[in-house]
């Protein structure tokens, strides 16, 4: 199975040993961040630093002239990834014989929400989620589509992986996150992620719903959960809480909005990319799910993109809905954690990859070569050799 390791430019730039060390894992490919959200990351082997603080969502290269005079527009990184940090790292990794693909984070941007609050998802209580751009808003959609094309098709890149190309909602580790006090379950998370910005209110109206009545219904449905009622853990729970017809109408609006954005972004990447450029989406096969792994309809997304990268931190079950779909050569990549301190299991990599292959995986991803300890990298190297 082909494997690729995730890496940040700051893991490589300034560390002459990094490209060879990553190539020495036995991976032929790296997935290198070119547009990324704010984060605080360890760099346990870097000769100059041990912690990198990326203060805001940024592009890790100089944005081009397409953004002149536009609002919103991407921000270049600060001193954690100055200049063309992506290009510098990509050249070093390619010099070690690695194929470079871009890693592009899209609808996850706290700085965008801080600078332009009207772009954010607004829940049924009127609370804004500054980390979550509403993907129904025309200006935001145009920004995301152009960002996808620019950040994906960087010099030297052979393909891209588009993350968070869909709805973002409540579930997000935001700053010092303290939102786990009430177990909402899958249904409660969906209700708390429904957006009521003007664009979404119009969208619900077009689906036959009164947005004010819908917001009131969502608040009423959530009230028992705030008081400690048993959580409703699946889509059937949303139907019980809202009623089947109302639930279906909200999902139809959100599914259509996400699907059309995914189509537009992939098309924009293809227009700018050379022939043979691979386009993958980080994806969850349950279309109403929110987050970095955007909820998708498996059949639809595999008719649009060249494949998907599927989260397998909780096991490989999410792979199965993608298996056997798409075209010849369609990629279904299992994203496997190899950082023990973040819940990964590098020691069982060979077993986990074999199980993923049984459920339809054609490739694997290692999260994350820059964050992992020496012991974790050694275990991952042994696992890949066993494959």
The stretch 88-107 carries a mean pLDDT of 98
The stretch 38-42 carries a mean pLDDT of 96
Cis geometry, peptide bond prior to residue 368 (ω within 30 degrees of 0)? yes
Question: Rounded to whole angstroms, how far apart are CA atoms 297 and 322?
Answer: 9
Q: What pLDDT is attached to residue 172? A: 77
Q: How many percent of the chain have pLDDT more than 90? A: 92
The stretch 360-377 carries a mean pLDDT of 98
- Is 80 exceeded by the pLDDT of residue 175? no
- Is 90 exceeded by the pLDDT of residue 361? yes
203 pLDDT tier (thresholds 50, 70, 90)? very high
181 pLDDT tier (thresholds 50, 70, 90)? confident
pLDDT digits (tens, 9 = 90+) for 295-351: 999 999 999 999 999 999 999 999 999 998 888 899 999 999 999 999 999 999 999
Q: What pLDDT is attached to residue 243? A: 96
pLDDT digits (tens, 9 = 90+) for 149-165: 999 999 999 999 999 99
Could you write out the three-class secondary structure of 26-84? CCCEEEEEEEECCEEEECCCCCCCCEEEECCCEECCCCCHHHCCCCCCCCECCCCCCCC
Question: Rounded to whole angstroms, how far apart are CA atoms 297 and 302?
Answer: 9
Length of the chain: 387
pLDDT digits (tens, 9 = 90+) for 183-200: 889 999 999 999 999 999
* Residue-averaged pLDDT of the chain: 96
Residue 222: which of 176, 289, 170, 290 has the closest Cα? 170
Question: Rounded to whole angstroms, how far apart are CA atoms 153 and 269?
Answer: 7
Q: What pLDDT is attached to residue 176? A: 73
182 pLDDT tier (thresholds 50, 70, 90)? confident
Alpha-carbon Rg of the chain, whole angstroms?
A: 21
Q: How many percent of the chain have pLDDT more than 70? A: 100
Structural domain spans, the chain: 2-179+255-386
pLDDT digits (tens, 9 = 90+) for 65-94: 999 999 999 999 999 999 999 999 999 999
The stretch 205-216 carries a mean pLDDT of 98
pLDDT digits (tens, 9 = 90+) for 282-297: 999 999 999 999 999 9
CATH class of 2-179+255-386: alpha beta
- Is 80 exceeded by the pLDDT of residue 259? yes
- Is 80 exceeded by the pLDDT of residue 232? no
């Amino acid at each position: 199975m082909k494997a690729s390791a995730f890496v940040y430019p700051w893991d490589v730039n300034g560390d002459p040993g990094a490209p060879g060390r990553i190539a020495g894992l036995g991976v032929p490919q790296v997935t290198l961040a070119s547009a990324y959200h704010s984060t605080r990351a360890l760099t346990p082997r870097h000769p100059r630093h041990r912690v990198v603080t990326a203060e805001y969502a940024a592009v890790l290269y100089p944005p081009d002239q397409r953004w002149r005079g536009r609002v919103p527009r991407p921000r270049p990184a600060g001193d954690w990834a100055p200049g063309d940090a992506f290009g510098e790292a990509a050249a070093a990794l390619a010099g070690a014989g690695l194929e470079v693909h871009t890693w592009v984070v899209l609808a996850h941007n706290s700085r965008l929400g801080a600078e332009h609050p009207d772009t954010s998802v607004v829940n049924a209580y009127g609370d804004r989620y500054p980390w979550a751009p509403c993907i129904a808003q025309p200006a935001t959609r145009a920004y995301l589509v152009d960002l996808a094309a620019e950040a994906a098709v960087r010099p030297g890149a052979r393909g891209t992986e588009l993350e968070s190309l869909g709805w973002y909602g409540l579930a997000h580790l935001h700053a010092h996150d303290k939102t786990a006090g009430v177990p909402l379950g899958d249904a409660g998370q969906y209700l708390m992620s429904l957006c009521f910005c003007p664009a979404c209110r119009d969208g619900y109206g077009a689906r036959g719903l009164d947005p004010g009545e819908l917001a009131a219904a969502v608040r009423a449905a959530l009230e028992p959960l705030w008081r400690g009622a048993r959580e409703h853990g699946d889509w059937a729970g949303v139907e019980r809480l809202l009623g089947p017809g109302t639930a279906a109408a909200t999902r139809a609006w959100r599914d259509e909005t996400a699907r059309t954005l995914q189509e537009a972004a992939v098309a924009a990447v293809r227009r700018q990319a050379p022939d043979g450029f691979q386009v993958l989406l980080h994806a969850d096969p349950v279309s109403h799910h929110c987050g970095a792994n955007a909820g998708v309809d498996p059949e639809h997304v595999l008719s649009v993109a060249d494949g998907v990268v599927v989260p397998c931190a909780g096991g490989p079950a999410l792979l199965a809905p993608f298996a056997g779909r798409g075209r010849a050569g369609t990629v279904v990549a299992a994203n496997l954690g190899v950082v023990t301190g973040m819940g990964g299991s590098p020691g069982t990599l060979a077993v986990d990859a074999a199980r993923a292959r049984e459920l339809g995986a054609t490739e694997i991803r290692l999260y994350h070569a820059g964050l992992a300890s020496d012991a974790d990298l050694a275990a991952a190297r042994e696992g890949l050799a066993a494959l």
